[in-house]
């Protein structure tokens, strides 16, 4: 079966150890986590864990089902690449002297829509928000200019759906509880 890239968005209660337990589900299913981010969601008391992975449709479906069985999981959504808009943030530390010597740093920053966050006599910190490919291309370019350090965040993702999927899920769940 052919593998595809998926983004799994897990909404959970904010409990100690949830992130480890979620990562263990992926490990037990032999799924590599390409990026992971965890933070508070727009909903009080609910946190979001966003995981980027590659899997077969069957394996990702089984993983989502297993994640949804967890008591502290509110809801899990799984998206293919074309169902989301995502960005990552990358930071690049470049030797200031090498950057000045290269002479084309302004053009590079403009082409890649990047910006300088800090500059001193030893190094310059550059920030770029974009897709994985975009941050990687700037990385390749800055390697030529004395790249000293590189760090990239996990994905920040929104679905292409009209309504926030968790909001719709919570609304339906509340309606079901009222009808009982």
pLDDT in tens, 97-139: 988 887 788 899 999 999 999 999 999 999 999 999 999 999 9
Region 87-97: mean pLDDT is 95
**Residues 74, 87: Cα–Cα separation, whole Å:** 24
Q: Assign residue 118 a region (left: φ > 0; alpha: ψ between -120 and 50; beta: otherwise).
A: beta
Q: How far apart are CA 13 and CA 34, in angstroms?
A: 23
CA 70 to chain centroid, in Å, comes to 22
- CA dihedral 175→49→14→31, nearest 10 degrees, is 110
- Model pLDDT, residue 102: 79
d(CA 91, CA 118): 11
Whole-number Å distance between alpha carbons of 38 and 154: 9
Q: Are the CB atoms for 48 and 10 separated by under 8 Å? A: yes
- pLDDT score of 55: 96
């Amino acid at each position: 079966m052919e593998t595809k890239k998926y983004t799994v968005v897990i909404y959970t209660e904010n409990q100690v150890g949830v992130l480890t337990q979620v990562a263990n589900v992926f490990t037990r299913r032999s799924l590599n986590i390409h990026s992971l981010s965890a933070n508070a969601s727009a909903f009080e008391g609910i946190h979001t864990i966003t995981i980027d992975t590659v899997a077969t449709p069957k394996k990702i479906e089984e993983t989502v089902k297993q994640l949804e069985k967890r008591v502290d999981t509110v809801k899990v959504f799984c998206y293919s690449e074309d169902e989301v808009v995502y960005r990552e943030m990358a930071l690049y530390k470049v030797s200031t002297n090498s950057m000045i010597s290269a002479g084309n740093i302004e053009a590079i920053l403009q082409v890649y829509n990047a910006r300088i966050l800090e500059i001193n006599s030893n190094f310059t910190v550059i920030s770029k928000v974009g897709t994985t490919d975009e941050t990687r291309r700037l990385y390749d370019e800055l390697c030529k200019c004395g790249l000293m350090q590189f760090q990239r965040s996990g994905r920040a993702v929104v679905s292409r759906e009209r309504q926030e999927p968790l909001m719709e899920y919570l609304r339906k769940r509340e309606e079901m509880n009222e009808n009982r």
